[in-house]
Structure 1
């Protein structure tokens, strides 16, 4: 048997141990390769979005590669640690340090090459599906062709081969200082009774609660300022929860004698205390990794699904056109007819309303602001056009200030008494605030409603530059006609119609930008999530020899196979689902912060996404539990 055959047989005989590691590496390579296929697709050169796509994918590729490097480095180190006893035996039989290093490099190279080729094969099989999805995402009339550039193969192979080899050299360097005795000791280390600090445990719990409070009460105005403090609290807080509070919790469980001495709970709880303490840093890392995956994908998916509702909240009218000044108002009808003629050609039902606001200025949110005023009669017509009923009465000495959705969220302050002032007229009125029913004005900050008499007084003396014309159009099924609306408004003269706003434009902008983010970010989140599960698997497998000896001792003192399977299942489940549950709670408060800024509910999208992650995690858990228990049963 040659040295290469010896290395190959080592990998083959440890294939079960390397299985999760191999699939995680293969998935990483496949995702990297698919993005590279799209980045180097020859047909993208013909489109204007080429630079934006290349920039986005380049950033994603860097993130995937850097994360893969750290993941492979950790995983390789974990496997080396679990096999130190084997290497000690080889050195006792006469293998030199150089030959051992060569063996390690060969083994890791074999796994790396197989992962690279398998990943590129899987990527090739699914590349066409992703190309069609990406074409649909960009709204291309015809899908990009199924073409894979040789650059994608070269970049993936060279990049990941260098990464695997560099990781091998790093691991070999870390192993060089070990003596034969230390290698024989393997991953074993004498256990000490887990200790904790009441102070640090309480501080950790307090930090997490403080972070939760900041997230729960965040809004659009302060979320930017709170983001870094939340991270600064949640990360050290989570670390202290695992290193201190978890041991305290186990300590309190042991004091509950009725629970602690019930059936096999004594064994489960006692061993869990050691495992939580031994694996605290690992569980902390897995929790943060999973929380990032849940939060990133959940926020993107939640906003993506609520795009229609958010468009309706920020754009009350389906389509609106605005002109300023007498000269533009005279030309406006011809420009609006371009749009309505297109609707008539496509047999789209619609209703329209034309009103003539007048400009003035007043104080809103403690600063001087330009406003456009409409009469109470026009206001009622707008409300009725929207299929609603007027609920506000208005006296001659009153003014209604309409605040947009974002302004209401930010709690804009409006004085009880406002003075409206134009170039030739002035009125002081009693103010009240309602949600806006008109789209934003390109020229002024807010729209106000005054009585017909007050409006006539301002309009009668208004200067030509203080006159506006606002055309509101309500369409049948604006979502289905969103792209038609966008195309029809592109032909209008923007100098004449200075303000063109629609739910369709806002909706498509939100959908397109979030589609890019979802496409670029979702697979990174999945990669993080799968890596978190794989890291747990590596740690469990690394401790397997030690756990087997423990179960052998339990078997000799009389525990049945069924009882040991129950204990093993509980311990593996705790290690798997404690970080998962904590990550879900972390993400839940992040979703609450997002909900505070959105009009629509993101509960269903969030639950759907977390349920999908839970399903994958449960499959992963049962797979690893099966391997773990089968290994224990083999030595009974």
Structure 2
């Protein structure tokens, strides 16, 4: 009997369950594919030990479980509300609560089992496609990626059975918690008074709108806002706290907007009697207030979820651009090598067939002491003492011929310099240098410009800023130490094989340590930079202090191919996970809104039947349906897109990148997806209320 009832209920609720089934099946497909990739030894071996696929996929799997569990609980809540009368009828005919709970458990299990089996089946079929997408994103060449993973099937089944049990337990708890009188009475119609609106709720509505506008204003002026926070007790931490504060303000504003601001708008619209009594606006306005009252919390949660999903999709594309840009920063040419390792690398290259050095530049650096001031935001910092790398202008221009990322530099006077600092690659709009830089020999130089660092891995230059000076000035500076790097490109048919041989023969390591200590005394820089320690006796007896002698070492070489391969694999993996999680999040939020509207259609069917009986044309009723659904779909979509747009803008102010247009493109994709949900939901909603009239 229980199974017969379950089957009849399933057929009666087919439309709602179908939306639930599609979302669940897609989630199973994604989860299985993520799990299967962790067991794909061919793919894992091709990636190597430097990138941990299993860690990223397991994290993605956990996020999938969280998202789909939230969806299942929300959908189950809609189903219970919709079938309250049915549950009360079961009570009336003498069915015990445990039997009713078991009935719902069977239905949940049946639908879950069908979704699970279908999802695993489709996951097996499309596992090669998913793996190919990952391999393409990571620029991997793998011959065959199709295989059936038994451990993944078991893991997926256990995880989704666990979620089904959680949902079933919650259903049982709600059924046991409800009373028969509550279950039997008609679903409550939340009434609203059209001419009264509490002053406090109106104030909260205004506050919600103000908070969202404030969040957007702070986002647009995030650098100034972060600077203000650094002047508080937070100090430099305020620089990183600023985006979190803006996010918190927007989240609170979103909650107030959907619970109070939208209601305030509807109330004010009702004050306009001309529009209020036109067509079916009076009815539409009343229904809008009821929707806001019943669904404010859900709409605010969906909006925040949309913003997060867009951030995941758009942010992943932006991060890929940033990763590629970091390769151009650290390895602008095929190789940059310390002088001591150049001979060994050159010999390996000469032995390789069809491989030769295409161009080479010798970079001569002088490492000497300096004093300058940094301005972080609007906050003036004290003296910064430490070495800087000096590079002659002619040497810079020679490197520029083989390094396409270096910009032209002109020095008008002997004292003019251009600072090349890796900080400018990320925080160019936030950290600035003072106009004067002092060197050890009492030389004062004028900072004419500060440029991003595309001279190669900064660790090759002891992690210190580089200063481009005139040739005349470079030759006059004798303090500090000198060292040489070789930058060159190669012509090779198999760069990966060459990179692997070089990695085996010449291991990246730290070499050529230097020691320095500087003080600012009587407006003069005093101290030294040396290849040998002048305080060896203090090295092991004292803790770290800026006043003690400091030691730094140099990285011996960098390979563009190795860096490019690593960034492509890491960023490709990141994009893969973020893309599918973002798409799943959008599908879940759209499905939740769709299920809610289907529930509303069943609840309001009698009201629409009454409209038809009093002679309201069918087209007018259908138009009313589309208006009602627009209140549910459009505000979360618009506010969510605005949240994501300003979040991307904040990110762009902190980290410069040319790939943010991809992030904004993802916002356009969301609009298209939600428009599709809106029109599909409205069409089905109309079919439900019109019934056989269609």
Question: TM-score normalized by structure 2?
Answer: 0.81
Could you tell me how far 1:341 is from its partner in structure 2? 4.5
Q: Report the equivalent of 2:233.
A: none
Match of 1:234 among 230, 246, 250: 250
How many angstroms apart in 2 are the aligned matches of 1:596 and 1:523? 27
How many angstroms apart in 1 are the aligned matches of 2:352 and 2:673? 47
Q: 1:418 to 1:135 in 2, by over 3 A?
A: closer
| Aligned residue runs from structure 1 range 123-272, under 5 A | 123-143=123-143, 145-193=145-193, 195=197, 197-218=201-222, 224-272=240-288
Could you tell me how far 1:143 is from its partner in structure 2? 4.0
Q: Report the equivalent of 1:301.
A: 317
How many angstroms apart in 2 are the aligned matches of 1:189 and 1:306? 53
Q: Report the equivalent of 1:375.
A: 392
Q: Report the equivalent of 1:41.
A: 40
How many angstroms apart in 1 are the aligned matches of 2:319 and 2:106? 47
Contact 1:372 1:447 (C-alpha < 8 Å) held by counterparts: yes
Contact 2:411 2:417 (C-alpha < 8 Å) held by counterparts: no
Q: 1:66 to 1:332 in 2, by over 3 A?
A: closer
Q: Which segment drifts farther, 338-347 or 255-264? A: 338-347
SS at structure 1 position matched to 2:371: strand
Structure 2, unmatched stretches of 5+, are: 227-235, 375-382, 513-553
How many angstroms apart in 2 are the aligned matches of 1:185 and 1:177? 16
Contact 2:190 2:290 (C-alpha < 8 Å) held by counterparts: no
Q: 1:412 to 1:338 in 2, by over 3 A?
A: farther
SS at structure 1 position matched to 2:443: strand
SS at structure 2 position matched to 1:170: helix
Q: Deviations over 1:241-283 (max 9, x none)?
A: 0111111111222234444444333332332222122211111
SS at structure 2 position matched to 1:176: helix
How many angstroms apart in 2 are the aligned matches of 1:91 and 1:145? 54
Q: 1:570 to 1:559 in 2, by over 3 A?
A: same
SS at structure 2 position matched to 1:471: strand
Match of 2:295 among 269, 275, 279: 279
Q: Report the equivalent of 1:446.
A: 465
Q: 1:300 to 1:243 in 2, by over 3 A?
A: same
How many angstroms apart in 2 are the aligned matches of 1:352 and 1:264? 78
SS at structure 2 position matched to 1:449: strand
How many angstroms apart in 2 are the aligned matches of 1:7 and 1:630? 25
Q: Which segment drifts farther, 287-296 or 210-219? A: 210-219
How many angstroms apart in 1 are the aligned matches of 2:282 and 2:188? 23
How many angstroms apart in 2 are the aligned matches of 1:338 and 1:249? 76
Q: Report the equivalent of 1:326.
A: none
Q: 1:397 to 1:165 in 2, by over 3 A?
A: closer
How many angstroms apart in 2 are the aligned matches of 1:79 and 1:504? 55
Could you tell me how far 1:539 is from its partner in structure 2? 1.6
Q: 1:347 to 1:124 in 2, by over 3 A?
A: same
Q: Report the equivalent of 2:100.
A: 100
Contact 1:33 1:123 (C-alpha < 8 Å) held by counterparts: yes
Q: Report the equivalent of 1:418.
A: 437
Q: 1:599 to 1:236 in 2, by over 3 A?
A: closer
Could you tell me how far 1:320 is from its partner in structure 2? 5.5
| Aligned residue runs from structure 1 range 394-433, under 5 A | 394-404=412-422, 405-406=424-425, 409=428, 411-421=430-440, 425-433=441-449
How many angstroms apart in 1 are the aligned matches of 2:683 and 2:498? 56
Q: CA RMSD in A?
A: 3.2
Q: Which segment drifts farther, 581-590 or 38-47? A: 38-47
Could you tell me how far 1:127 is from its partner in structure 2? 1.0
Match of 1:334 among 343, 367, 379: 343
Q: Which segment drifts farther, 29-38 or 602-611? A: 602-611
How many angstroms apart in 1 are the aligned matches of 2:634 and 2:242? 29
Q: 1:529 to 1:444 in 2, by over 3 A?
A: closer
Q: Report the equivalent of 1:353.
A: 361
SS at structure 2 position matched to 1:205: helix
Match of 2:587 among 530, 535, 539: 530
- 1:560 paired with 2:560, answer no
Contact 2:349 2:355 (C-alpha < 8 Å) held by counterparts: no
| Aligned residue runs from structure 1 range 65-84, under 5 A | 65-84=65-84
Contact 1:239 1:281 (C-alpha < 8 Å) held by counterparts: yes
Could you tell me how far 1:565 is from its partner in structure 2? 0.5
Question: TM-score normalized by structure 1?
Answer: 0.87
How many angstroms apart in 1 are the aligned matches of 2:590 and 2:633? 8
Q: 1:70 to 1:452 in 2, by over 3 A?
A: closer
Q: Deviations over 1:383-422 (max 9, x none)?
A: 455578855234334433333333761544433333212x
SS at structure 2 position matched to 1:374: strand
Q: For this pair of structures, how many residues does the alignment match? A: 618
How many angstroms apart in 1 are the aligned matches of 2:663 and 2:415? 48
Could you tell me how far 1:233 is from its partner in structure 2? 1.4
Q: Which segment drifts farther, 449-458 or 562-571? A: 449-458
Contact 2:266 2:289 (C-alpha < 8 Å) held by counterparts: yes
Q: Deviations over 1:107-166 (max 9, x none)?
A: 222111111111111211111212233344555543454222322222222221232133
Q: Which segment drifts farther, 43-52 or 209-218? A: 43-52
How many angstroms apart in 2 are the aligned matches of 1:430 and 1:438? 21
Could you tell me how far 1:367 is from its partner in structure 2? 0.8
How many angstroms apart in 2 are the aligned matches of 1:407 and 1:41? 36
Q: 1:622 to 1:430 in 2, by over 3 A?
A: closer
Q: Deviations over 1:73-126 (max 9, x none)?
A: 221121011011122233333433333222222222211111111111121111
Match of 2:627 among 536, 551, 570: 570
Contact 1:398 1:450 (C-alpha < 8 Å) held by counterparts: yes
Q: 1:136 to 1:386 in 2, by over 3 A?
A: closer
Q: Report the equivalent of 2:542.
A: none
